[in-house]
């Protein structure tokens, strides 16, 4: 398939949709987070739109803010993603199944086995979104008083990825001969027994799960920090990026793909797919009216809690219609606070409600509001301009806005010749245009190691 054809993922977040106020809207189903049948129907809708994958995030802790704010948040509880993905696998044929699992509070053998099992059950459609847990509250879920500091989390992630890839490479694709006549079930010459001993893990293979038709699950990542970019350049096959502006996205794209040469990797073996919340309707005016309607449903408690998190400043004693105060420039919220102070100086009287609506709109990801032509123009510009290889679409309300995307945007992308008209393969690798990556007994090269 030509490289100009964009890749699409459907990003699922618990609640009635991707917008933080979606569950309050009359068109949403507020119990979407616990209704697996609805999630399966959403996945089938994504497959109907010829999406490459269905992507599920995850959280290891309930605590993402004050209890009062969390009590208004539809994403306060989650179904474990692999459980849902195994169900979706039985109701779809082509759709990739990607979910998040952290390297910080897990074991490589167990994770490798779970994802290899999903890959085999789905006939080669699984992907693992590797993250390092940043939320310090998660430590107490696992009996630890102190959260693992960032540098250690990333060293652990490098080693974890190395072990998982080694376990996934336990068996040659043709190792299982199952010859009734000779009585030979598998060829021992085609078995690799990993024996790893590192800083964090000591693991002996092989993995007990045979390889799937795509060989091994696709490696996905979401990190944007310096450590995250380096890890992605070495290991990732898909990056779920959070980019809101075209110029910043092109720099990120060039930077990460430029780092891949040091690890002996082809830049085309990595697909960068930022999140994009899409408000689309037949007309520009209708799309904007629906966008504003959802924005007005943002609960002030949630809005102020969001600001407190983003600005590293406690807004709990403020009201939504209070003017935005001058914010302290701290090490955590520094550049963002400085930018807000400049905006307030240019717009005296700006209220906190206006400010939290701004930050809530795309939940830190890209946002496009408009007609099918406007949405397609935006997407085409980003892909052709090397800002990304495709997008993880974030429908504001489920299933309404995914259905609209299929009905209004997909045909326009197909008319322009930049999106598939049918699936090319039955595996996730096949549809993404990815080969199985090589893996040697030396494993994944570490940060700073030169290619051989």
Lowest model confidence (mean pLDDT) among 97-106, 191-200, 373-382: 97-106
Q: What pLDDT does 335 receive?
A: 57
Residues 101 and 106: their CA atoms lie apart, in Å, by 8
**Token pair for residue 442?**
């030396």
Arithmetic mean of pLDDT, 75-97: 91
Backbone region of residue 123 per phi and psi (left: phi > 0; alpha: psi in -120 to 50; beta: other values): left
- Please state the separation of Cα 78 from the chain's center in Å: 16
The pLDDT of residue 448 is above 50: no
Is this prediction's pTM over 0.85? yes
Determine whether 253 is exposed, middle or buried from the number of CB atoms within 10 Å of its CB (0-12, 13-18, 19+). buried
Banded pLDDT at 62 (limits 50, 70, 90)? low
Lowest mean pLDDT segment, chosen from 142-146, 242-246, 337-341, 363-367 = 142-146
- Average pLDDT, integer, range 158-173: 94
The mean pLDDT value for 318-325 works out to 93
Q: What is the pLDDT of residues 4-56, one digit of tens each?
A: 589 999 999 888 999 989 999 999 988 887 889 999 999 999 999 999 999 99
Tell how far CA 287 is from the center of its chain: 25
- The larger pLDDT score, comparing residue 224 to residue 127, is at 127
Neighbouring residues of 340: CB distance < 8 A, sequence distance ≥ 6: 311, 324, 327, 355
Complete domains list, the chain, with CATH: 7-282+371-432 (3.20.20.30), 298-360 (no CATH)
Q: Enter the tokens of residue 182.
A: 């000779």
Residue 69 confidence (pLDDT): 75
Interval 168-182 mean pLDDT:
95
**For residues 446 and 389, which has the higher predicted lDDT (pLDDT)?**
389
Mean pLDDT of 68-87: 83
pLDDT level of residue 3 (50, 70, 90 thresholds):
very low
228-265 pLDDT tens trace: 899 899 999 999 998 989 999 999 999 999 999 999 99
Across the chain, mean pLDDT equals 89
Helix or strand holding residue 38 (H, E): helix 36-48
What is the mean predicted confidence (pLDDT) over 286-314?
90
| 305-313 contacts, C-beta under 8 A, 24 or more apart | 305/65, 305/66, 305/68, 305/69, 306/20, 306/356, 306/359, 306/360, 307/352, 307/355, 307/356, 307/359, 308/65, 309/65, 310/336, 310/359, 311/336, 311/337, 311/340, 312/337, 313/337
% residues pLDDT > 70 (the chain): 90
Helix (H) or strand (E) holding 278: strand 275-280
Least confident of 70-74, 143-147, 237-241, 342-346: 143-147
More confident residue, 439 or 177: 177
**CA–CA dist 369, 280 (Å, integer):** 6
Could you tell me which residue, 310 or 285, shows the higher pLDDT? 285
C-alpha distances (whole Å) from 105 to each of 78, 90, 147, 202, 220 are 17, 29, 10, 15, 18
Long-range contacts of 418-423 (CB under 8 A, 24+ apart): 418/4, 418/5, 418/6, 418/380, 418/383, 418/384, 419/5, 419/6, 419/8, 419/50, 420/1, 420/5, 420/50, 421/50, 422/50, 423/50, 423/94
What average pLDDT does the segment 194-209 reach?
Answer: 95
Checking if the pLDDT of 444 tops 80, the result is no
Mean pLDDT lowest among 12-16, 178-182, 397-401: 12-16
Mean pLDDT of 107-120: 96
Phi then psi dihedrals of residue 417, to 5 deg = 75, 25
Mean pLDDT value across residues 291-297:
95
Determine the Cα–Cα distance for residues 137 and 190; give it in Å rounded to an integer.
44
Please give the average per-residue pLDDT across 107-113, as a whole number: 96
């Amino acid at each position: 398939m030509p490289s100009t054809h964009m890749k699409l993922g459907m990003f699922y977040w618990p609640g009635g949709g991707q917008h933080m106020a979606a569950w309050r809207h009359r068109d949403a189903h507020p119990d979407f987070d616990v209704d697996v049948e609805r999630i399966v129907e959403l996945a089938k809708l994504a497959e109907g739109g010829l999406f490459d994958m269905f992507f599920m995030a995850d959280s290891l802790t309930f605590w993402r803010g004050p209890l009062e704010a969390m009590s208004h948040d539809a994403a306060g509880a989650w179904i474990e993603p692999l459980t849902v993905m195994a169900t979706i696998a039985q109701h779809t044929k082509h759709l990739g199944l990607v979910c998040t699992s952290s390297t910080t509070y897990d074991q490589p053998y167990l994770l490798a086995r779970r994802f290899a099992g999903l890959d085999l059950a789905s006939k080669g459609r699984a992907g693992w979104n590797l993250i390092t847990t940043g939320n310090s509250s998660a430590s107490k879920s696992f009996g630890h008083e102190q959260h693992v500091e960032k540098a250690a989390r990333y060293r652990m992630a490098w080693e974890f990825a190395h072990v998982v890839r080694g376990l996934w490479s336990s068996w040659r694709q043709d190792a299982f001969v199952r010859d009734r006549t000779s009585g030979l079930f598998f060829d021992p010459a085609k078995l690799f027994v990993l024996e790893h001993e590192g800083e964090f893990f000591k693991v002996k293979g092989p993995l007990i799960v045979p390889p799937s038709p795509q060989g091994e699950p696709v490696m996905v990542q979401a990190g944007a920090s310096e450590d995250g970019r380096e890890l992605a350049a070495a290991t990732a096959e898909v990056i779920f990026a959070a980019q809101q502006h075209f110029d910043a996205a092109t720099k990120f794209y060039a930077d990460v793909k430029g780092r891949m040469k040091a690890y002996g990797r082809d830049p085309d073996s990595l697909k960068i797919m930022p999140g994009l919340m899409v408000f689309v309707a037949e007309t520009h005016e209708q799309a904007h009216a629906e966008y504003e309607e959802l924005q007005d449903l943002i609960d002030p408690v949630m809005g102020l809690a969001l600001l407190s998190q983003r600005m590293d400043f406690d807004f709990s004693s403020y009201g939504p219609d209070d003017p935005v105060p001058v914010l302290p420039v701290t090490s955590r919220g520094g550049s963002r606070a400085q930018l807000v102070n400049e905006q307030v100086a240019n717009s005296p009287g700006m209220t906190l409600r206006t400010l939290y609506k701004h930050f809530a709109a795309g939940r830190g990801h890209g946002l496009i509001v408009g007609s099918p032509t406007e949405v397609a123009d935006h997407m085409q510009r980003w892909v052709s301009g090397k800002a990304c290889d495709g997008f993880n679409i974030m429908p504001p309300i489920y299933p309404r806005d995914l259905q609209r995307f299929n009905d209004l945007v997909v045909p326009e992308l197909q008319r322009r010749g930049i999106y598939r008209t049918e699936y090319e393969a039955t595996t996730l690798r096949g549809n993404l245009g990815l080969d199985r990556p090589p893996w040697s007994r030396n494993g994944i090269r570490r940060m700073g190691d030169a290619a051989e």
